[in-house]
Amino acid sequence: MTRIVLAQIEPALGDLRRNLALHEAEVAAARASDAQLVVFPELSLTGYFLKDLVAEVALATGEGPLARLAELSRDITIAAGFAERARDGRVYNTLGLFEDGRMVGAHRKVHLVTYGMFDEARDFAPGERFRAIDSKLGRFGVLVCEDMWHLDGMWLHFLAGVDAILACSASPARGARAGEAQPRSQRTWTTIQDAAAVLTQSHVVYCNRVGCEDGIVFGGGSRVVGPDGVEVARLDGLEPGRLACELDASLVRRVRTITPLRRDEKPQLVLRDLRALEDAEEA
Amino acid sequence: MSDHAHPLDLNTDLVEALLVRFLRAEAGKFGFERMVLGLSGGIDSAVSAALAARAFGPANVLGVMMPYTTSSSASEADARTVAATLGIRLDKVEIGAMADGYLSMAPDADRLRRGNVMARCRMIVLYDRSVVERALVLGTSNKTELLLGYSTQFGDAACALNPLGDLYKHQVVQLARHLGLPRVVIDKPPTADLFEGQTDEGELGFSYAQADAILHALVDERRTLEEVVGLGHARPLVERIAARMAANQYKRQPPLVAKLGERTVTHDFRYLRDWGR
């Protein structure tokens, strides 16, 4: 059993100092509750609709707030979001995993969202790979927001045999039709989380933010689904909150024993078909 | 018609929660916990006031009645009923002397100009009161109005926060019922009350129900004009509403800035209003 806490926070827009303090408080609370892992939302250190602020809040590996998160991770694993400035100047929407005093892995958001109210590809460079991150708590597949809306990331993490998918977002609440209890956006998220859990036979740990940026209200709804597709825990409402629960490794093993999806997966077939598709397009 | 028969019907509990969250968050970031708004006796200002009362407590909401000399006394009575129902504070500022101070120098002003002067006088009163109250000016323009441009720029459209701007008129009415506002305010024909006998629908030349349906199909569902006509709406009306929406885009934008440098305010100096909050 892995004891985790989801920190459904309300980051301030472009204020690294305040957001770092928020992380420190959440980590302290998680540690006090004896959690082993605390998960924050997408861009938790910076806020979301950054636009030109991206250049001002982007952090190089080991810089100030990231060094502090590493320091805080000596006795608890931390997953937190930030704008990452790479050596070559590109800035990524990154989720880092901090453990034992250092950043042990990071995922750069691959599927930047650039439609409707979103303009990420204007401000960020896209990540170029999905790689599982090995932690002392298990193998994690990180997906940032829109990464969850595509099959590729969760499929590659499934092939890599992750124990849990850490899905972090900054998703606004949209749609409030009569007869529907939740915003349309949140119901879609729930469908995706359930499907991802069932199809990858992993825990799906979904941490969304709350709060408001220029009239856009983030929907919260942080949630954990088991590898059997059954909801483990969730947070309702639009307020900041902490969601504590356990990830059951035994359940992952048993689900995969009963229904051996990974054994029957055919990645080589997909590889051949993708190559054939590419050849056909080039012809 | 049942409450759930209309395609624009909302989950009003959820909408209330989202709008209250919006008001608290956006005011709180700037250190405000009080609101001031013009209370006309109409449904839009009543709904805005009700949402603010829920977000900040009725004692932190000031409704200001600002009648001109020709404003209907029924409007004032309705505004008083709204304030009493919500328990918010109420004040009255006659704008007759203020508006006439200028209008006496503009004897040729037609109805439109006079109406705009009154709307801008009210804006001056609200922004001045907001200083005394240490409050933000709360907006009351709904989505139908914003899209049609049926408002006075820098007049009734001026505000710091607008909780109604993404709600069609039909949805404002639905929310008004949900918030328990007085029937008299919900049922009466909407009016800007700028001259006697004026009604919104009379002035616009079409009903809010028609406007809501056509705008929703064009804007939210991104249907083409042809497709909207195909839904059964009269072509001239669809064309008129689409043209009106485009013609009034200027009212929904900050003033245009002529670009010269590398980074220009409103063009590519890209920061949210909530910058650093």
The CATH code of domain A2-282 reads 3.60.110.10
- Compute the Cα dihedral for B223, B229, B233, B238 and give only its sign: positive
Say what the pLDDT of residue A233 is: 98
Q: Write the class of the CATH domain B12-188.
A: alpha beta
Q: Taking CB atoms and an 8 Å cutoff, what residues of chain B touch A15?
A: 276-277
Q: Which of B2, B18, B171 to mutate to test the interface with A (most CBs of A within 10 A)?
A: B18
AA identity, residue A243? L
φ/ψ of A206, rounded to 5, equals -110, 115
Q: What is the pTM of this model?
A: 0.94
Say if the Cβ atoms of A176 and B11 lie within 8 Å.
yes
Q: In this structure, are strands B35-38 and A37-39 parallel, antiparallel, or unpaired? A: unpaired
Delimit the domains of chain A by residue range.
2-282
d(CA A37, CA A27): 9
User: Token pair for residue B23?
Assistant: 């008001």
Per residue of chain A (283 residues), what is the pLDDT tens digit?
999 999 999 999 999 999 999 999 999 999 999 999 999 999 999 999 999 999 999 999 999 999 999 999 999 999 999 999 999 999 999 999 999 999 999 999 999 999 999 999 999 999 999 999 999 999 999 999 999 999 999 999 999 999 999 999 999 999 999 999 899 999 999 999 999 999 999 999 999 999 999 999 999 999 999 999 999 999 998 999 999 999 999 999 999 999 999 999 999 999 999 999 999 988 8
A200: left (phi over 0), alpha (psi -120 to 50) or beta: alpha
Task: From B194, B246, B266, select the one nearest B42 (Cα to Cα).
Answer: B194
pLDDT tens-place string over residues B205-262 = 999 999 999 999 999 999 999 999 999 999 999 999 999 999 999 999 999 999 999 9
Q: Is residue B2 predicted with pLDDT exceeding 70? A: no
Considering only the beta carbons, identify the residue of B22, B269, B270 that sits closest to A212. Answer: B22
**What residues form DSSP beta bridges with B161?**
B138
B272 in contact with chain A, both atoms CB, cutoff 8 A: yes
AA identity, residue B273? R
Say if the Cβ atoms of B9 and A177 lie within 8 Å.
yes
Strand (E) or helix (H) holding B143: helix B143-148
Q: Is residue B128 predicted with pLDDT exceeding 80? A: yes
Contacts of B112-118 spanning 24+ positions with Cβ under 8 A = B114/B194, B114/B195, B115/B152, B115/B192, B115/B194, B115/B195, B116/B152, B116/B155, B118/B68, B118/B155, B118/B194
Q: In this structure, are strands A2-8 and A241-247 parallel, antiparallel, or unpaired? A: antiparallel
Question: What's the DSSP call for residue A117?
Answer: T
List C-alpha distances in Å: B82 to A70, A155, B169, B176.
55, 56, 18, 11
CB B87 within 8 A of CB B61: no
Say if the Cβ atoms of B22 and A52 lie within 8 Å.
no
* Mean pLDDT confidence for B77-83: 98
Say if the Cβ atoms of B17 and A238 lie within 8 Å.
yes
List C-alpha distances in Å: A212 to B15, B24, B137, B182, B273.
15, 9, 19, 31, 12
Alpha helices in chain A (DSSP H): 16-32, 54-57, 64-72, 120-123, 151-159, 184-200, 249-258, 261-264, 267-282
CB atoms closer than 10 angstroms to residue A125: 18
Question: Measured between CA atoms, how close is B77 to chain A, in angstroms?
Answer: 33
A80 in contact with chain B, both atoms CB, cutoff 8 A: no
Burial bucket for residue A201 (CB in 10 Å: 0-12, 13-18, 19+): buried
Say what the pLDDT of residue A75 is: 95
CB B185 within 8 A of CB B81: yes
Burial bucket for residue A181 (CB in 10 Å: 0-12, 13-18, 19+): exposed
Q: Which of B19, B272, B273 to mutate to test the interface with A (most CBs of A within 10 A)?
A: B272
Q: In this structure, are strands A223-225 and A203-208 parallel, antiparallel, or unpaired? A: antiparallel
